[in-house]
Amino acid sequence: MKRAIVLALLLLVAPLVSACYNPMDSLAVEVYLNKPGISYNLAPLKNAENVIIDNGNLVYRSHYDERVGVVLKEVNSSLRVRIQIPAKSFKFTYAHASFKTPLLISNESLERIMALGWKVEKYSFRKGSLYIQ
């Protein structure tokens, strides 16, 4: 009976825990250097030419592989080092316009439209990325 209750609780909590998953985690490794006695000096990195400072993070590309980014951040007198392959992002832009009008097209006009390369379906026309409905 106890096993059934524990299993039921795990199944109820599992969807909540999965919300903490970040898909970027599989592409990154993060280490906190917080052992007493470890010292570091980030001043040379802050003055380097290929380093970006963003919200307290020092970000730069790896010297060995351009696909790899290194993120350094000071957290509570310790150093956080994250090595990450950035995910690609895509940006799409498209234009959309619409208007309504009565459309009276004869069969002869439909044949001419199809001869021009338009695909005609009932009251909609498609050619490449253009769509008229």
Q: Looking at the 3D structure of the chain, how many domains does it have?
A: 2
Residues 80 and 30 in one domain: yes
At 27, is the pLDDT very low, low, confident or very high (cuts 50, 70, 90)? confident
Give the pairing type, strands 28-33 and 124-127.
unpaired
Residues 71 and 35 in one domain: yes
pLDDT score for 93: 67
pTM of the model: 0.46
| Structural domain containing residue 60 | 22-84
Which is more confident, 131 or 109? Answer: 109
Residues 100 and 61 in one domain: no
How large is the average pLDDT for residues 104-112? Answer: 76
Residues 80 and 99 in one domain: no
Q: Which DSSP state fits 64?
A: S
With H, G, I as helix, E, B as strand and everything else as coil, classify residue 25.
Answer: helix
Which is more confident, 22 or 52? Answer: 52
Residues 40 and 64 in one domain: yes
Residue 16, in any domain of the structure: no
Distance CA 51, CA 67 (A): 15
Residues 70 and 108 in one domain: no
Distance CA 117, CA 52 (A): 51
